[in-house]
Amino acid sequence: MNRGGTFAAAGFALLAGHQAGDHLVQTDHQAQHKASDGAKGWRAMAGHVASYTACQAVALAGLSAAGVKLRPSRALAALAVSAGTHAFIDRRWPVVWWQDRTGSGPFVRLADHGINGAYLSDQAAHVVCLYVAALVAAA
């Protein structure tokens, strides 16, 4: 498979793993406390990032069944990029900081009319980082 196909496959696998890890596997406790200061917050974040990364690792490993071969070092590097950026984004303040400086502060604080600006901004930041992780996987 060429690098473009590998990039697409890795990107989709990372996104599928992200969705599972962020929405199906993450506990309510982790979601409520991962951005908190102190040991309780850091334990919640560590547990979330560990299970999130495991979901992505399973998704990347599954690519071999479809005939997509990733170099193990590239897959591990992609997982490291994804885990590290995910933990940073999930501290919440980086997204608010970015949105404030780009003129989207009101959007990130929007939580009515069926729209949650903080969640949408968080997910957008994650997808951008998954793109970078897919590039790393396919390199």
What gap in Å lies between CA 7 and CA 1, rounded to an integer?
Answer: 10
Residue 56, class by beta-carbon neighbours within 10 Å (0-12 exposed, 13-18 middle, 19+ buried)? buried
Each residue's pLDDT tens digit, 11-42: 999 999 999 999 999 999 999 999 999 999 99
Could you state, in order of their start, the residue ranges of all structural domains in the chain? 3-138
Q: What is the DSSP string of 77-120?
A: HHHHHHHHHHHHHTTSHHHHHHHHHTT-HHHHT---TT--HHHH
What gap in Å lies between CA 89 and CA 19, rounded to an integer?
Answer: 15
Which candidate, 20, 109, 116, places its Cα nearest to that of 62? 20
Each residue's pLDDT tens digit, 80-113: 999 999 999 999 999 999 999 999 999 998 887 7
Decide if pLDDT at 1 tops 80.
Answer: no
User: What would the mean pLDDT of 50-58 be, rounded to a whole number?
Assistant: 98
Query: What predicted TM-score, i.e. pTM, was given to this entire model?
Result: 0.91
